[in-house]
A and B are shown apart, each in its own frame.
Chain A
Amino acid sequence: MYTDRVMDHFRNPRNMGKMDDPSAVGRVGRVACGDVMWFYIKVEPDGDGREIITDVSWETFGCTAAIATSSMVSEIAKGKTLEEAVTITNRDAAEQLGGLPPIKMHCSALAADALNEAIYAYLTERGREIPEALAKRHERVAKEMATLDKRYQNLLEAEGEQTGSSQ
């Protein structure tokens, strides 16, 4: 079902875990649908004044494909400029993993989206201009999350009533 490269990243996840002092964090996914990914980025200028993602890490709740694509996206993004990093696509991650089962393609989508969200947060928090492609992707992600929230709202509310707890 999974390629050797997927299993390698699952077994030996790269750049995993929380980052202590990140420049920004991107969060996507919802527990109810089984995938949540948080991407942490550290951005620093290089000698030429370009902004480089000098460190990336992630925390992922999800299946094997979700874990492997988080690991892969983090590996691709590390050392890239912000401009380069925003062009990383879901397909890049899936391809470099030797392919994913069709039903799991959304997992690779989430990992690239989480990185994108981190870059979006980085620029927004600094009052910087958002490139159009990045803004569009952010809008799409926000819309998807809102759809998921709506879909699971009733379930979670019913649960809250039973347990008296909330998120």
Chain B
Amino acid sequence: MTRPIYLDHSATTRVAPEVVAAMEPYMGDRFGNPSSLHALGREARAAVEHSRETIAMHLGANTKEIVFTAGATEANNLALIGAAFASEERRHIITTAIEHHAVLHTAQWLQSQGFPVTVLDVDAAGRVDVDAVRQALREDTLLVSIMAGNNEIGTLQPIQEIGTMCRERGVLFHTDAVQAFGKVPLPMDSVDLLSVSAHKLHGPKGVGFLYVRRGVKLVPLLHGGGHEGGRRSGTENVPSIVGLGAATEIAFSEMEKLATRLRGFRARLIEGVAGIPGTRLNGHPTESLPHIANFSFEAIEGEGLVLKLDELGVAVSTGSACSSPDLEPSHVLRAIGVPMSTIHGSLRVSTGRGTTPEEIEAFLEHLPGAVEALRAFSPFKVGDRRVH
């Protein structure tokens, strides 16, 4: 099989060869448990701490502020649940309608446990209004959680302003930075809690971290041997943590250069797709992560389009209902008001480190034919506003 043109980097990324090389010894000779006193244990401990130092350095953080987790879902759960249960008087939580389910469903669960939750709407480009956050803040607000950049449409949020405002009001500010970390600079001065996953930046799956500003109290989700300063028990996933450190090193050393290249791809994708009738860009034209572009195609359904493109050797994803386990269209596309007539025909194109200009051009060459093939037997025509 020839390798597909992989334009689904928001779903996951290939582990970089340098990262694999860094991890390998820790699945072989250097297999020690970091808690062991002997030489093998000390070697593993050194590797974990080296990774922690790398991450802390690039974030301008203290090593004690990095808590390794089994990915960003856990980091988000730890941030929200940990902060909520550690809070004595404040109980109110604010988040947005376009958060990843790892935040949104956690907030909903907290609501079921008696923590009042406010879910803020976003505008048509997916931006949260800073004033709306200000108005939602209450005397008893304990935490505001707003993602740095959206995983489906790419829209960036004004997290610096929001975080600063929260700080002034004594409210914790958490940001899910899964898509933004290593892609765009993060305003760490305004952030109390920040979630990251390794596999979105050419690291391994199943590992991530939560940045916890010094002084922020969290109740742990996992109880046990008291690892990670008592905030996350369980023997450290040494090879993966080493991989996360290596991936972070690469991402930060390349960040500006890569972001510029990916922004160029995004502009070209937007220009290319605009040439196809009956399409729209979902998300913000400019205030966006460099690597994500989301489009809607009238009169067709996204799952078929993904599989048509898959046949042509292109890997992308969709927010259509047919592709989701609950048969509901993407909550993000609904929140930005994508019309019901086109909400099922969305396509997310996300580029990465290995993407080439030739791949972008090949995708843009394949796309019109794939769209046309599906429109050929659609009961709807471009421009239709009918619903049945």
Whether B304 lies near A10 (C-beta < 8 A) is yes
Beta-carbon nearest neighbor of B307 in chain A: A64
Whether B344 lies near A31 (C-beta < 8 A) is yes
Whether A61 lies near B378 (C-beta < 8 A) is yes
Q: Once bound together, how far apart are the Cα atoms of A35 and B337, in whole Å?
A: 20
Report the interface size class on chain A. Answer: 35 or more
Whether B340 lies near A156 (C-beta < 8 A) is yes
Contact of A31 among B311, B322, B386 (CB under 8 A): B386
Contact of A16 among B377, B385, B386 (CB under 8 A): B377
Task: Note all chain B residues with C-beta closer than 8 A to A11.
Answer: 311
Q: Once bound together, how far apart are the Cα atoms of A66 and B300, in whole Å?
A: 12
B327: CB under 8 A from chain A?
A: yes
B299: CB under 8 A from chain A?
A: yes
Task: Note all chain B residues with C-beta closer than 8 A to A33.
Answer: 321, 327
Q: Which of B289-309 contact A (CB under 8 A)?
A: 299-301, 303-304, 307
Q: Once bound together, how far apart are the Cα atoms of A104 and B323, in whole Å?
A: 10
Contact A17:B377 (CB < 8 A) given known A62-B301, A155-B340, A159-B340: yes
Task: Note all chain B residues with C-beta closer than 8 A to A16.
Answer: 376-377
Q: Produce 1/0 per residue, A46-86, CB < 8 A to B.
A: 00000000000011111111110010000000000000000
Whether B301 lies near A34 (C-beta < 8 A) is yes
Interface secondary structure of B, over-half rule: loop
Contact A30:B387 (CB < 8 A) given known A61-B300, A61-B301, A64-B304: yes
Task: Note all chain B residues with C-beta closer than 8 A to A155.
Answer: 340
A103: CB under 8 A from chain B?
A: yes
B341: CB under 8 A from chain A?
A: yes
Q: Once bound together, how far apart are the Cα atoms of A32 and B328, in whole Å?
A: 9
Contact of B327 among A34, A60, A152, A159 (CB under 8 A): A34
Whether A152 lies near B387 (C-beta < 8 A) is yes
Contact of B304 among A31, A63, A103, A152 (CB under 8 A): A63
Whether A103 lies near B327 (C-beta < 8 A) is yes
Task: Note all chain A residues with C-beta closer than 8 A to B320.
Answer: 34, 63
Q: Produce 1/0 per residue, A10-28, CB < 8 A to B.
A: 1101001100000000010
Q: Which of A7, A27, A156 has the most CB atoms of chain B within a 10 A radius of its CB?
A: A156
Whether B303 lies near A36 (C-beta < 8 A) is no
Task: Note all chain B residues with C-beta closer than 8 A to A35.
Answer: 301, 322
Q: Which of A92-112 contact B (CB under 8 A)?
A: 103-104
Contact A156:B387 (CB < 8 A) given known A34-B344, A36-B379: yes
Task: Note all chain B residues with C-beta closer than 8 A to A30.
Answer: 387-388
Contact of B379 among A61, A152, A159, A165 (CB under 8 A): A61
Task: Note all chain A residues with C-beta closer than 8 A to B31.
Answer: none
B215: CB under 8 A from chain A?
A: no
Q: Once bound together, how far apart are the Cα atoms of A63 and B300, in whole Å?
A: 9
Whether A59 lies near B387 (C-beta < 8 A) is no
Whether B301 lies near A167 (C-beta < 8 A) is no
Q: Once bound together, how far apart are the Cα atoms of A104 and B300, in whole Å?
A: 17
Task: Note all chain A residues with C-beta closer than 8 A to B379.
Answer: 27, 36-38, 59-61
B339: CB under 8 A from chain A?
A: yes
Task: Note all chain A residues with C-beta closer than 8 A to B325.
Answer: 103
B329: CB under 8 A from chain A?
A: yes
Q: Once bound together, how far apart are the Cα atoms of A152 and B344, in whole Å?
A: 14
Q: Which of B299, B321, B388 has the most CB atoms of chain A within a 10 A radius of its CB?
A: B388
Q: Once bound together, how far apart are the Cα atoms of A61 and B385, in whole Å?
A: 14
Whether B321 lies near A34 (C-beta < 8 A) is yes
* Shortest CB distance B51–A (Å): 36
Task: Note all chain B residues with C-beta closer than 8 A to A38.
Answer: 379
Beta-carbon nearest neighbor of A165 in chain B: B385
Whether A62 lies near B327 (C-beta < 8 A) is no
Q: Once bound together, how far apart are the Cα atoms of A32 and B386, in whole Å?
A: 10
Whether B377 lies near A34 (C-beta < 8 A) is no
Task: Note all chain A residues with C-beta closer than 8 A to B339.
Answer: 159, 163
Q: Once bound together, how far apart are the Cα atoms of A165 and B383, in whole Å?
A: 11
Contact of B303 among A13, A31, A63, A156 (CB under 8 A): A63
Task: Note all chain A residues with C-beta closer than 8 A to B343.
Answer: 32
Whether B311 lies near A29 (C-beta < 8 A) is no
B380: CB under 8 A from chain A?
A: yes
17 A-B contacts (beta carbon < 8 Å): A13-B377, A30-B387, A31-B380, A31-B387, A32-B387, A33-B327, A34-B327, A34-B344, A58-B377, A60-B377, A61-B300, A63-B303, A63-B322, A103-B327, A159-B339, A162-B337, A165-B385
Residue ranges of B at the interface with A (Cβ–Cβ < 8 Å): 299-301, 303-304, 307, 311, 320-323, 325, 327, 329, 337, 339-341, 343-344, 374, 376-380, 385-388
10 additional A-B pairs beyond A10-B307, A159-B339, beta carbons within 8 Å, are A16-B377, A34-B327, A58-B377, A59-B379, A63-B323, A66-B301, A66-B322, A70-B377, A103-B327, A159-B340
User: Which 7 A-B residue pairings sit nearest by Cβ, starting from the closest?
Assistant: A63-B322, A63-B303, A59-B379, A16-B377, A34-B321, A31-B387, A32-B340
Residue ranges of A at the interface with B (Cβ–Cβ < 8 Å): 2, 7, 10-11, 13, 16-17, 27, 29-38, 58-67, 70, 103-104, 145, 152, 155-156, 159, 162-163, 165-167
